[in-house]
């Protein structure tokens, strides 16, 4: 596909979008939904990373406390 053909295809796409507003609105909504999902999953990833760090820190503190409870043998 040459650049001219690609340009014509893009031009015809935008001409159709100008004539019919519903498909344009649907395209905009799909892109906005994608951006929203990207944001939500990014924040969920940050929260999960924070929770994992807290879990590992708690496990390390527990190991230190338990190591002090062991009485060495004679």
Per residue of the chain (74 residues), what is the pLDDT tens digit? 678 888 888 888 778 777 887 877 888 899 999 999 999 999 999 999 999 999 999 999 999 998 888 777 66
Confidence (pLDDT) at 62? 94
The reply to whether 62 falls in a domain is yes
Domain span including residue 60: 3-68
Provide the 3-class DSSP secondary structure of residue 44. Answer: helix
The reply to whether 74 falls in a domain is no
The reply to whether 21 falls in a domain is yes
Q: What angle (nearest 5°) sits at the alpha carbon of residue 17, between those of residues 11 and 20?
A: 145
pTM of the predicted protein model = 0.55
The reply to whether 73 falls in a domain is no
Confidence (pLDDT) at 55? 97
The reply to whether 38 falls in a domain is yes
Confidence (pLDDT) at 70? 76
Task: Give the up-direction half-sphere exposure of residue 15: CA atoms within 13 A in the CB hemisphere.
Answer: 6
The reply to whether 45 falls in a domain is yes
The reply to whether 57 falls in a domain is yes
Confidence (pLDDT) at 1? 60
The total domain count for the chain is 1
């Amino acid at each position: 596909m040459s650049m001219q053909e690609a340009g014509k295809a893009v031009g015809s796409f935008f001409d159709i979008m100008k004539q019919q507003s519903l498909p344009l609105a649907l395209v905009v909504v799909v892109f906005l939904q994608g951006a929203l999902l990207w944001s939500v999953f990014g924040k969920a990833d940050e929260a999960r990373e924070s929770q994992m760090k807290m879990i590992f820190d708690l496990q390390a503190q527990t190991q230190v406390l338990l190591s002090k409870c062991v009485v060495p043998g004679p």
